[in-house]
């Protein structure tokens, strides 16, 4: 068996890359499609998790970033820029380092998880904390890239979407069909747009006979697509999707409508409940935003919107280690233990 070459080489005929370009890859893609027995039992569906935290920088962003940085390098410009709630910046920083490009990231001050900031720092990105939210950062990044010689690598760059659609290809390749339903957390809406592009492409080419219904879930405090209007001051514990004005709004709506899908809003309480359930019952540690897809699955199963026996894939978008603070909240033992097996046994209620 030869090594996995990354998504560009694996799906070369489906991803546009400039002739003769040096492909910048960290071996992204080929992530687990993991059966979820507990979720299957409670929902009456056949549930799988697409574990995108297994990508090189710990999120699905790497699929788009290998393509965006490959194009940026080929363009001859020496710098890339992005706005980010954290994962895009971590990914851009890593791929830019690999390519030898300068990377600037614009992040909302104090609102990105610690692990993501650590990644951008160590990969040598120029980190600019902005006194504003993600939407302000994106506007600033777009304007800067419009006026100066620097490539914008947010998902408004269409080559990012071309890379991210490979997750849908992988799911179909493994299942031998498209799932009936696909559940995703939605923030800036690039990923739901990309998955729908991937599923539609495979269906149009006859690789698989159909495409899933796309279920997109937003945090209740940041749910512009659910309300049908931008949210000026978005707020949620799931900082990755704390976005009030998604750039790929039209793509998300098209995916929902064409697939007979739905959008729904999920409270932080339910997001955190799904976050803990994934860790404790399925053994999968994700960041809070990622649990939104599973919280949405549980909500639709509970009120009858999820067809019984359906094959369902939930993408869990980012690794739990990105956000250790949320995991530790209220869960750490403070009292130190005596160096004594009897003390350990007592602490564990062993007899």
Contact residues toward ligand F0G (CB under 6 A) are 59, 61, 84-88, 155, 185-191, 240-241, 287, 289-290, 317-318
**H or E segment and range at residue 265:** strand 262-266
Closest of 261, 265, 288 to residue 219, by C-alpha: 265
Residue holding tokens 């998604």?
A: 246
Rg (CA), the chain: 20
DSSP assignment string, 145-200: HHHSS-EE-STTSHHHHHHHTHHHHHHHHHHSS--SEEEEE-SSSHHHHHHHHHHH
Looking at beta carbons only, is 137 or 312 nearer to ligand F0G? 137
For residue 337, give both structure tokens: 């233990």
To the question of whether residue 76 is assigned a binding role by annotation, the answer is: no
Looking at beta carbons only, is 249 or 307 nearer to ligand F0G? 249
To the question of whether residue 154 is assigned a binding role by annotation, the answer is: no
To the question of whether residue 187 is assigned a binding role by annotation, the answer is: yes
Looking at beta carbons only, is 46 or 163 nearer to ligand F0G? 163
Closest of 68, 70, 91, 76 to residue 24, by C-alpha: 70
To the question of whether residue 296 is assigned a binding role by annotation, the answer is: no
CB atoms near residue 332 (< 10 Å): 7
**Cβ of residue 184: shortest distance to ligand F0G, in angstroms?**
7
To the question of whether residue 315 is assigned a binding role by annotation, the answer is: no
**Cβ of residue 304: shortest distance to ligand F0G, in angstroms?**
26
**H or E segment and range at residue 120:** helix 114-122
Looking at beta carbons only, is 15 or 65 nearer to ligand F0G? 65
To the question of whether residue 30 is assigned a binding role by annotation, the answer is: no
- C-alpha–C-alpha distance, residues 96 and 72, integer Å: 9
- C-alpha–C-alpha distance, residues 52 and 11, integer Å: 18
**Cβ of residue 189: shortest distance to ligand F0G, in angstroms?**
5
**Cβ of residue 225: shortest distance to ligand F0G, in angstroms?**
10
Phi, psi dihedral angles at 244 (to 5 degrees) = -105, -15
Residue holding tokens 């690794």?
A: 319
Looking at beta carbons only, is 70 or 155 nearer to ligand F0G? 155
Residue 248, classed as helix, strand or coil, is coil
Looking at beta carbons only, is 46 or 184 nearer to ligand F0G? 184
To the question of whether residue 283 is assigned a binding role by annotation, the answer is: no
**Cβ of residue 135: shortest distance to ligand F0G, in angstroms?**
10
Looking at beta carbons only, is 45 or 153 nearer to ligand F0G? 153
Furthest C-alpha separation in the chain: 71
Residue 84, classed as helix, strand or coil, is coil
Cβ atoms 315, 54 nearer than 8 A: no
- C-alpha–C-alpha distance, residues 319 and 90, integer Å: 12
Rounded to an integer, what is the distance from CA 89 to the centroid of its chain?
A: 13
**Cβ of residue 302: shortest distance to ligand F0G, in angstroms?**
22
Looking at beta carbons only, is 131 or 340 nearer to ligand F0G? 131
**Cβ of residue 90: shortest distance to ligand F0G, in angstroms?**
8
DSSP code for 311: E
Annotated binding site for pyridoxal 5'-phosphate: 87, 187-191, 317
Annotated binding site: 87, 187-191, 317
């Amino acid at each position: 068996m030869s090594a996995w070459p990354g998504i560009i080489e694996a799906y070369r005929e489906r991803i546009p890359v400039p002739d003769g370009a040096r492909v910048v890859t960290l071996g992204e893609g080929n992530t687990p499609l993991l059966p979820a027995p507990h979720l299957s039992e409670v929902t009456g569906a056949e549930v799988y998790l697409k574990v995108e935290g297994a990508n090189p920088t710990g999120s699905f962003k790497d699929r788009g970033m290998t393509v965006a940085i490959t194009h940026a390098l080929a363009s001859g410009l020496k710098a890339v820029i992005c706005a980010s709630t954290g994962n895009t910046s971590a990914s851009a920083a890593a791929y830019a380092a690999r390519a030898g490009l300068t990377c600037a990231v614009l992040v909302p001050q104090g609102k990105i998880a610690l692990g993501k900031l650590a990644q951008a720092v160590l990969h040598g990105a120029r980190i600019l904390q902005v006194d504003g939210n993600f939407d302000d950062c994106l506007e600033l990044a777009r304007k800067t890239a419009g006026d100066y010689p620097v490539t914008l690598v947010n998902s408004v760059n269409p080559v990012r979407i071309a890379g991210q659609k490979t997750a849908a290809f992988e799911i179909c390749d493994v299942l031998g069909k498209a799932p009936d339903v696909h559940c995703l957390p939605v923030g800036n809406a690039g990923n739901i747009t990309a998955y729908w592009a991937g599923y539609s492409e495979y269906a149009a080419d006859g690789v698989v006979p159909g495409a899933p219904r796309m279920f997109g879930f937003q945090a209740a405090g940041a749910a512009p697509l659910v309300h049908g209007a931008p949210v000026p001051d978005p707020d949620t514990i799931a900082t990755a999707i704390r976005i009030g004005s998604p750039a790929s709004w039209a793509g998300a709506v098209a995916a929902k409508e064409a697939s007979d899908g739905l959008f729904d809003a999920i409270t932080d309480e339910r997001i955190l409940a799904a976050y803990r359930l994934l860790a404790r019952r399925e053994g999968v540690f994700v960041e809070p935003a990622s649990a939104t897809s599973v919280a949405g699955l549980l909500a639709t199963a509970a009120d009858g919107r999820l067809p019984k026996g359906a094959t369902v894939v939930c993408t869990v978008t980012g690794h739990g280690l990105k956000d250790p603070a949320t995991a530790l909240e209220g869960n750490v033992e403070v009292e130190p233990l005596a160096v004594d097996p009897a003390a350990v046994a007592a602490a564990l209620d062993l007899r």
